[in-house]
Amino acid sequence: MTYIVFLGMSLACFAASKPIIWKVFFSIPFSETRSRLLLISAWIILLLTMYVVADQTGSYGILTLIGYSSPMLVVYICLINMAKTLKGR
Amino acid sequence: MKGNMTRSMAWLHTWVGLLTVWLLILIFLAGTISFFRDEVTLWTQPGFHQELGNTRPVMSQSAQIEQAVDYLKNNAPESSSWWITLSSPREPFTEVSYRTPSSQEQRGQFTSAYFSIAQPDTQLPHVDSKGGHFFYRLHFDLHYLNIGIARWLVCFASLFMLIALISGIIIHKRIFKDMFTWRSGKGLRTWLDSHNLASVAALPFHLMITYTGLVTLIFMLFPYPALTQFDGNFGAFFNAQNPTRMVIKPTGQQQPMLDTQLWLDQIYTNWPNASLARVIIENPRDQSATIKVYAGTQNKLQDEQPTLLLNAVTGDIIARANEALSPSETFYDSMIALHSGRLANTQLRWLYFIGGILGLAMLISGSLLWEKRVATSSKTESFGLKLVKTLNVGTIMGLPLATCAFFYANRLLPHTIAMRADKEINAFFITWLVCLICSGLALKHQAWFKLALVNAFAWALLPIISAIQTGLPTHLAIIEGKTILWAFDIAFLVIAMISGFIATKLYRNLNTVRAYKEATL
């Protein structure tokens, strides 16, 4: 289960690196440096998670990890849109 | 070429997708349901519901085989073929089948008996139904069509889908930038965002399932290396690849089979810790009788099961296959395993299912996007647009309703009716046809709304009808720990809720349009 949490963290970093999404969740102004840092963190977390999963559970684990990315992405987009709607009100 | 590379790819993406989208929706729907093929089969067999929750058989595998062989010796001594399928966690029963003696006109049909794993002497009542197997075969055989034609159609649809996926990636330049973008209430933009979201969110799954789907049919698409190597004889190629496929003709001289325990010893000597999946005994009373034993592959990335072929009279091993695969066999087999998802545990199976649903969402949003875009840009409704509209409503709303009709037929048709399994399948196709006709001729503008409403009511009523027919309502299924039954009921209710939500939204839109028309008159 731990690797799913890390996958979630990585996707959250990817999402937060987008200026539109950043502005929905944070009051601190968006900056290019912060975005780049988030993007680098996202890639590091994702690649490290994939390496650890491949090392410990092999191809089956990688398949599961990739499988989880789809519903997680959909859930994130739903959450982002909900937050946008709430902020709009 | 249409101007530049991106425009050419956009043109290719649109037309390649539009040509095959409805066939692909059928293939994707059937394939997605097939990930739960065994569970659907269990749902369609009320006689097996008492077995749900029993995952560990009380008897060892060898005892199950001995019992099955005794049953077959007593009940089908003249049969030319005996099949014993051992229980697994997803199929908690032992299936014992035999081929009825064939007449001169036709080959004998298979007759099956099912045994409980909790009470091995108890035979389970069986209803004539294809269950999940119908959706599995529909996925690549398209049911009524000739198998050869159907597989070529599926081949081309898969090829077109792969082309559409690759061209889609090329034209979607901002694939990473737009990853979390979905704008609601913006008309065509919302449809495009939905199409992009469904495509990108499960892109690895879409690429994997399409590519591996093509690999499953590779010997149709590209048979030339095998044909060249084996002088145009495909049979010889398959026999060389798996020697246990050899057919040994009966000699006509009777000889009793070796004692079951003796040939089982031979198998367990070769495979000490094997979990056996199936045993097939050919020509059991003949001198040339053979026993073919398949071992389960469990969660391994391998689809073809290790197989042993034994002489049933002497117990000698005649041939063995799939124990150690060559690199090319490993590649081919892992591709098939990835596509079929047979390797998946419950968690991964659900992920496959979600991938399939997102695939359906991608296809549906793509075809609707084309329809809306053309309808917005053209002043008159051309024949092509009318056809696309009819096929869209008839397929997108009709296929779920047809699936629902299949489940209704399973619960409502009398158990004693002749050709019952075929009638369930007819219910599926007749419902789909009625939806297509209604959307084209009868309902026209209100087709989406009315079919969504029918879907909502039909799916919502299904758990009630099922509970009346089986005597096991959802709350009892939860209390008794029959996960498959209550999970199905919840799934039906979720589909009903989604259909109801769509119907409500469409009703509001219809009212808005009506009010606008009245105001402008």
Model pLDDT, residue B71 = 92
Average pLDDT over residues B230-235: 86
- Token pair 């799934």: residue: B491
Residue B146 tokens, joined: 């000739």
Determine, for residues B205 and A70 on separate chains, whether the beta-carbon distance falls below 8 Å: yes
Task: Return all residues near A16 (Cβ < 8 A) that are at least 6 apart.
Answer: A22, A25, A26, A38
By DSSP bridging, strand B123-124 and strand B317-321 are: unpaired
**Mean pLDDT computed over B334-351:** 90
Average per-residue pLDDT in chain A?
89
Lowest mean pLDDT among B49-53, B84-88, B198-202, B372-376: B49-53
Average pLDDT over residues B480-507: 93
Taking only the tens place, the pLDDT of each residue in B115-163 is 988 888 888 999 999 999 999 999 999 989 999 999 999 999 999 999 9
Which residues have a Cβ under 8 Å from the Cβ of B80 and sit 6 or more positions away? B99, B101, B102, B108, B250, B282, B283
Q: What is the CA radius of gyration of chain A?
A: 15
Return the SS3 of B446. Answer: helix
Q: How confident is the model at residue B175 (pLDDT cuts 50, 70, 90)?
A: confident
**Confidence class of residue A28 from pLDDT cuts 50, 70 and 90?**
confident
pLDDT grade, residue B521 (50/70/90)?
Answer: low
Q: Are A77 and B180 in contact (CB < 8 Å)?
A: yes
- pLDDT at site B6: 87
**Closest Cβ opposite residue B179 in set A14, A66, A81:** A14
Question: Pick from B294, B304, B308: which is nearest to B334 by CA?
Answer: B304
pLDDT at B344: 87
- In contact, B139 and B151? CB cutoff 8 Å: no
Report the C-alpha gap between B8 and A52 in whole angstroms. Answer: 41
Q: How many CB pairs under 8 A join A and B?
A: 55
Q: A70, B184: Cβ pair inside 8 Å?
A: no
pLDDT digits (tens, 9 = 90+) for B233-251: 888 888 888 888 888 888 8
DSSP assigned state of B291: E
Whether the pLDDT of residue B176 is over 90: the answer is no
Q: What is the pLDDT of residue B441?
A: 82
Q: Which residue has the higher pLDDT, B365 or B520?
A: B365
DSSP letters for B59-120:
S-HHHHHHHHHHHHHHH-TT-SEEEEE--BTTB-EEEEEEEPPP-SSSPPPEEEEEEESSST
- Quick one: pLDDT at residue B211? 95
Looking at residue B122, the DSSP 8-state letter turns out to be P
> Quick check: B167 pLDDT over 80?
yes
What stretches of B172-221 show up as alpha helix (H) in DSSP?
188-201, 203-216, 218-221
Q: Which of B180, B301, B354 sits opposite A59 (nearest CB)?
A: B301
Q: Hey, what are B105's tokens? A: 């006109």
Residue-level pLDDT at B512: 84
Q: Does the pLDDT of residue B520 top 80, yes or no?
A: no
Who's near A1: CB < 8 A, 6+ residues apart?
A: none
Residue B408 has pLDDT above 80, yes or no: yes
Q: Cα–Cα distances in Å, from A37 out to A17, A31, A34, A41, A73?
A: 8, 10, 5, 6, 21
pLDDT score of A7 more than 70: yes
Pick from A19-23, B87-91, B406-410, B441-445 the range whose average pLDDT is largest.
B406-410
> What b/e sequence results for B66-77 when a residue is b if at least 16 CB atoms lie within 10 Å of its CB, and e otherwise?
bbbbebbeeebe
pLDDT of residue B137: 95
pLDDT above 70 covers what percent of chain A?
Answer: 99
- The confidence score (pLDDT) of residue B400 equals 96
Interface test with A, best of B347, B351, B358 (most A CBs within 10 A): B351
What is the rounded distance in angstroms from the CA atom of residue B466 to the CA atom of residue B256?
A: 47
Beta strands in B452-518 (DSSP E): none
- Give the residue-averaged pLDDT of B169-194: 85
Contact across the interface for B182 and A14, Cβ inside 8 Å: no
pLDDT in tens, B450-485: 999 999 999 999 999 999 999 889 999 999 888 899
Predicted confidence at residue B105, as pLDDT, reads: 63
Q: Mapping DSSP to helix (H, G, I), strand (E, B) and coil, where does residue B290 land?
A: strand
Q: HSE of B322 in the Cβ direction (CA atoms, 13 Å)?
A: 25
Please give the pLDDT value at position B185: 80
* pLDDT over threshold 80, residue B386: yes
Chain B positions touching chain A (beta carbons under 8 Å): 177, 179-182, 184, 197, 200-202, 204-205, 299, 301, 338, 343, 347-348, 351-352, 354-355, 358
Q: Which amino acid is at B315?
A: G
What pLDDT does residue B517 have? 77
- CA nearest neighbour of B131 among B486, B401, B406, B404: B406
Q: How confident is the model at residue B405 (pLDDT cuts 50, 70, 90)?
A: very high
B434 pLDDT tier (thresholds 50, 70, 90): very high
Note the pLDDT of residue B496: 97
CA B491 to chain CA centroid, nearest Å: 17
Measuring CA to CA, which residue among B257, B258, B247, B261 is closest to residue B285? B257
Give B430's contacts (C-beta < 8 A, 6+ positions apart): B405
Backbone angles phi, psi at B484, to 5 degrees: -60, -45
Can you tell me the mean pLDDT for B384-393?
92
Mean pLDDT (chain B) is: 90
Put simply, the chain A residues between 54 and 73 with a CB less than 8 A from any chain B CB are 59-60, 63-64, 66-71, 73
- Angstrom distances, CA of residue B468 to CA of A44, B465, B471, B489: 55, 5, 5, 13
Query: Which pLDDT value is given to residue B173?
Result: 79
Q: B177–A18: do the CB atoms touch at under 8 Å?
A: yes
Average pLDDT (A26-48) is 90
Alpha carbon distance B292, B278 (integer Å): 8
Q: A20 and chain B: CB distance < 8 Å anywhere?
A: yes
Mean pLDDT of B168-182: 84
Predicted pLDDT at B108: 77
pLDDT at residue B2, rounded to an integer: 60
